[in-house]
Structure 1
């Protein structure tokens, strides 16, 4: 009886081993199939990445060509390439997203106040042979808050292509200290001469809540924007 029991035990153990071996084989076959499927799915991604890199390189090359044209004072060619770049940005989702992010960063918001800037090169008032480059810019201040605010003072930091900076302080803007009611805007235009073909401006507006008794003034920061022969990155008209 004991020998029969041992024999039965060995048989059962053998069956268990066969079952485990079969399960391992099934798992192995599943892994092989999964790997094969993964390999097939990677091909379109690789092609897509290669295509994007090619478009990015083309975009970078166009920007270099535009800079060369601007430095050689071939403004007509530079403007043509600039227009091509803008079309390229609209057609390429990633580049368009980058531009939108840049715009969002440039549109600084402080306590519900938003400042937007557009700049343009004024060729008629410039004299490159004498080192005079004249730029105009248009400012739009929007009060998106529920409070009435007033612009008290301005501060600009103007930097040319050689890194020389000048600080300009003043009361209000264009002779006014505008009051902005809730959900309203104020726009004005001004100008800035430079001794180099390009540069940048940045600064801040000091403002106050008109209807808050004893309230402190607050500063609305204006992100750097370009002064360039081709206009700023967003718009070349005032």
Structure 2
């Protein structure tokens, strides 16, 4: 894809203990997303496509319009940040996906969301 259409996505995830019920295999994870337009054209985030996998390899697919109820437009150099969450039935898993973008010149393209891990803190030791 051309240098005109460059969207970089960074994600950091964290465990949300108060929204989890470990005794019943319900693990809530929050994540913060930073979307940067590093291209030379503005673009609007139209929709999202997530693949969420748990520790057993079970995969959930999520599609929807925009993010957090918005379809943000990012001018070149602009950044959009938001927070959301996901729930797993295992203490760890991962997420990855794409944002479908619509550039100011009418071109549609995907921005990759790199895989990131959702891990119960005590699982790290």
TM-score where L is the length of structure 1: 0.49
The answer on 1:201 being equivalent to 2:95 is yes
Which consecutive unaligned segments of at least 5 residues does structure 1 have? 1-108, 234-238
Select which of 39, 58, 82 maps to 1:164.
Answer: 58
Give the Å deviation of 1:113: 1.0
Which consecutive unaligned segments of at least 5 residues does structure 2 have? none
The within-5 A match list for 1:189-228 is: 189-210=83-104, 212=105, 215-228=106-119
TM-score where L is the length of structure 2: 0.91
Alpha-carbon contact 1:110-1:220 (below 8 Å) kept: no
What CA distance in whole angstroms lies between the structure 2 residues aligned with 1:229 and 1:110? 39
Q: Give the match for residue 9 of structure 2.
A: 115
Alpha-carbon contact 2:4-2:39 (below 8 Å) kept: no
Q: Which has the larger radius of gyration?
A: 1
The answer on 1:173 being equivalent to 2:67 is yes
Give the Å deviation of 1:111: 2.7
Query: How far does the alpha carbon of each residue in 1:119-143 deviate from its partner, in whole angstroms, 9 at most, with x for none?
Result: 0001111110011100000100001
What CA distance in whole angstroms lies between the structure 2 residues aligned with 1:110 and 1:154? 20
Q: Give the match for residue 26 of structure 1.
A: none
Superposed structure 1 runs of 4+ greater than 6 Å apart: none
In structure 2, the residue corresponding to 1:219 is in which secondary structure? Answer: strand
> Which structure carries more helix by proportion?
1
Give the Å deviation of 1:230: 2.5
Query: How far does the alpha carbon of each residue in 1:97-134 deviate from its partner, in whole angstroms, 9 at most, with x for none?
Result: xxxxxxxxxxxx99321100000001111110011100
Alpha-carbon contact 2:42-2:73 (below 8 Å) kept: yes
In structure 2, the residue corresponding to 1:200 is in which secondary structure? Answer: strand
Give the Å deviation of 1:205: 0.3
What CA distance in whole angstroms lies between the structure 2 residues aligned with 1:201 and 1:110? 27
Higher relative contact order (CA 8 A, sep 6+): 2
Give the Å deviation of 1:147: 1.1
> Which structure carries more strand by proportion?
2
Q: RMSD across aligned C-alpha pairs, in angstroms? A: 1.9
Give the Å deviation of 1:146: 1.9
What CA distance in whole angstroms lies between the structure 2 residues aligned with 1:208 and 1:179? 9
